[in-house]
A and B are shown apart, each in its own frame.
Chain A
Amino acid sequence: MRRTLSLLVENEPGALSRIAGLFSARGYNIESLTVAPTEDESLSRMTIVTRGSEEIIEQITKQLNKLIDVVRLLDLTEGRHIERELLLLKVRAQGADREEIKRLVDIFRGRIIDVDEETYTIELTGPGDKLDAFVDALPAAEIYEVVRSGVSGIARGDRALRL
């Protein structure tokens, strides 16, 4: 089962290592983890994507809730929600490829954000599977570099994670 957990945590130096340490010590897996400060400077917002059986997921949420630094936790997967990820990708773009790649970027509603004679640097946001599909559509040998941000998530409608 893939789960997306959203957390508000104390913006303290040790908080991230406590959370990462919990996952490694108990053998839970982290698919991705994103973290950044929020409008309230005492808090950070974190999105963790993890996998496990129902029992494991229950343990993960309970253990996270037990950490003093974790202020709120919401399992986004329990309701309707939106996930987005940012992809930055550098690809060789020469000759006929240049037009072809540009068309592909348009189809995926991405943007070319930097150009030189040999390469395009592309920005694309979306759910993870859309980013996968885009990367798969490019000729693998031509890709120089792929940078993915990991998932950020938010609940739909009036469900919200806040104090």
Chain B
Amino acid sequence: MELTGAQIVVQSLKDEGVDIVFGYPGGAALHIYDALYNQEGVRHILVRHEQGATHAADGYARATGKTGVVLVTSGPGVTNTITGIATAYMDSIPMVILTAQVPTSLIGDDAFQEVDTVGITRPCVKHNFLVRDVKDLALTIKKAFFIASSGRPGPVVVDIPKDVTAETTRYQYPKDVRIRSYAPGRKGHSKQISRAAKLLLSGKRPIIYTGGGIILSGATGVLAAVVEALGYPCTNTLMGLGGLPADHPRFLGMLGMHGTYEANMAMHGCDVMLAVGARFDDRVTGDLKKFSPNAQVIHVDIDPASIGKNVRVEVPIVGDAKVVLEQLLDAITKSKAPRDEESLSRWWAQIDEWRSRDSLGYVNSDEVIKPQFVIQKLHEVTQGEAFVTSDVGQHQMWAAQYYGFGGPRRWINSGGLGTMGFGLPSAIGVQLAYPEATVACVTGEASVMMCIQELSTCKQYDLPIKIVNLNNRYMGMVRQWQEFFYDRRYSHSYMDSLPDFVELATSFGHVGVRVEKPADVEGALREAVAAKENLFFLDFLTDQTENVYPMIAAGAGHNEMELKPSADGSAPAERELA
């Protein structure tokens, strides 16, 4: 069958099983857009800014586990995607970004809407391709999907010059590909598995620390089985939330800069650590010199380069989190090694004591809406079953701390890059993947403004997203740091001249509601969640002075947490803002 390059692009997507593409047209992409016209099989979602397309595809990928697909034009279309590509790259999200390019004859001439796409995206992709011959097109697309979704997943860019989309060739989509330099393994080395099992079972103060790799590899079931077989405490990173259900008795909550007291103290005090699909990020470890000083570490990761990068590892295991955990579970169950039950029960007693500090406790108010309260109510109203996307800042931390995720792929946030503007467009991707589900976007008034134009996309495709805007009129997280570390010099962190979000939402064709009293929080959430047809923009005017606790300051160790002023018995400090 002879097809044009443009038809090959569309047909390849179909043959790859892609049902949805997020994109925005332009000159160099017009042949491809023409091939998208009047066809069935691939649904194209027109965003309002290419950054939105990347975050939407990313949200779709995070929620479904499938590869997200983006289609943009050359030049500015490409540069607008960079933030979204880097966001996906940092969190290892499978994504294929198809970028149109000026015709091959013009490449390098500073042609109209030309950028060096392969060059500009190189540092933030898993791999990228420039297709110079239509005969290579189908195979390259196949390779892109294979690379994006296998091993440690990540974004892959395929740059396609306009003339390549016009030329014709015989089309056949390859069934599979081999790439001689790329063969990610899945199974852990059996000798390492038995070493790990032995070390694990010898633990007196053990901990299991897991990250986004658990979610990406679909390892939640086997993780729970390992946790239960061992009876060990388990903590999740920001990216790993939902890895173990939040209400699991062995769960210590999130760890790291804004993690719980018990999680961080247990990390600090442990003697054996099983780290799975986590990368010892600086927001997790704090000062590396003070990090888990007595721990012998078993580190499981699909990416060998993640192992031993930041901390010394006793037992490295390269492999897929799910497969390796299954191997470990098998080894543990078969082992007859005696366990130090006495030390273990002392360890749990210690952990329970740390837990009793209730580091997430906060003093609620009848007068002013506490952001934590909104998140707790959101959990209640959605029975903990919503998909929650988020932006970056205090609201993100509160959502992570207070929502209590029961399962994987429900918590959708930009952990690695920390991209403000991620929340709304990623919710678009999630809602399109699960039209019937409740999708809440927990955001801040600064973050939501960064991709606010996507409200228009939500209207076009009737997406009933629930935007939970924790509006403190500050870039709260910036203000918090300025309060703590810059002597309250609130330099440029006040959000002046904010729009009226209710009118703004209305003008886009949605429902906007302002909520100012704690007593109205639950009702507003219930009304919004019940409305299956409409997007609700809930603008909660929250306490401007609230800070995220607990907190590990930069340079401090896990055992040097700052707890909330009220948590040590004293009343919350009265603070004034500039």
Contact = CB atoms under 8 A, between A and B. Distances in A.
A59 B122 contact: no
Contacts of B303: 66
Contacts of A62: 304-305
Interface string B141-155: 000000100000000
Nearest to A62: B305
Interface string B52-82: 0000000000000000000000000000000
B142 to A, nearest CB: 14
Contacts of A53: none
Interface string A61-75: 011011011111000
Contacts of B305: 59, 62-63, 65-66
Interface in A15-73: 17-18, 21, 25, 55, 58-59, 62-63, 65-66, 68-72
Nearest to A70: B181
Given A55-B308, A59-B309, A62-B305, A68 B122 contact: no
Contacts of B308: 55, 58
Interface string B269-309: 00000000000000000000000000000000001110011
Interface string B119-150: 10011001110100000000000000001000
A95 interface: no
Nearest to A66: B305
Contacts of B126: 68
A150 to B, nearest CB: 23
A20 to B, nearest CB: 10
A17 to B, nearest CB: 7
Contacts of A68: 126-127, 147, 179, 181-182
A65 B122 contact: no
B123 A25 contact: yes
| Chain A: number of interface residues, binned into ranges | 20 to 34
Nearest to A60: B305
Q: Is the interface of B mostly helix, strand, loop or mixed?
A: mixed
Contacts of B147: 68
Given A62-B304, A69-B181, A70-B181, A18 B122 contact: yes
Contact of A65 (B130, B304, B309): B304
A109 to B, nearest CB: 39
A14 interface: yes
Interface in B24-41: none
Nearest to B128: A14
A111 to B, nearest CB: 39
Nearest to B308: A58
Nearest to B309: A59
B46 to A, nearest CB: 31
A10 B118 contact: no
A17 B448 CA distance: 37
Interface string A97-132: 000000000000000000000000000000000000
A106 to B, nearest CB: 46
A25 B182 CA distance: 22
B175 interface: no
Given A68-B127, A68-B182, A21 B304 contact: no
B115 to A, nearest CB: 15
B123 A14 contact: no
Contacts of A72: 181
Main secondary structure of the interface of A (DSSP, over half): helix
A121 B118 CA distance: 41
A61 to B, nearest CB: 9
Nearest to A58: B308
B492 interface: no
A10 B122 contact: no
Given A55-B308, A65-B304, A17 B122 contact: yes
A51 to B, nearest CB: 19
A68 B147 CA distance: 9
A94 B103 CA distance: 57
A10 B129 CA distance: 13
Contacts of A163: 180
Contact of B122 (A21, A58, A66, A70): A21
B420 to A, nearest CB: 23
A63 B179 CA distance: 18
Interface in A60-93: 62-63, 65-66, 68-72
| A62, A63, A70: most-surrounded residue (chain B CB, <10 A) | A62
A82 B498 CA distance: 67
Greatest chain A CB density within 10 A among B119, B126, B180, B181 is at B181
Interface in B392-433: none
Given A59-B305, A62-B304, A63-B305, A71 B128 contact: no
Nearest to B182: A68
B253 to A, nearest CB: 31
Interface string A133-156: 000000000000000000000000
A44 to B, nearest CB: 12
Nearest to A71: B181
A17 B181 contact: no
Nearest to B304: A62
Contacts of B128: 14
Contacts of A55: 308
A18 B122 CA distance: 7
Nearest to B180: A71
Interface string B528-541: 00000000000000
B119 A17 contact: yes
A68 to B, nearest CB: 5
A14 B181 contact: no
A33 to B, nearest CB: 17
17 contacts: A14-B122, A14-B130, A17-B119, A18-B122, A25-B123, A59-B305, A62-B304, A62-B305, A63-B305, A66-B303, A66-B304, A66-B305, A68-B126, A68-B127, A68-B181, A71-B180, A71-B181
Interface of A: 10, 13-14, 17-18, 21, 25, 55, 58-59, 62-63, 65-66, 68-72, 163
Given A14-B128, A68-B127, A72-B181, 7 more contacts: A18-B122, A21-B123, A25-B123, A58-B308, A62-B305, A69-B181, A71-B181
> Which 9 A-B pairs give the minimum distances between C-beta atoms?
A62-B305, A71-B181, A68-B127, A62-B304, A63-B305, A68-B182, A25-B123, A66-B305, A21-B122
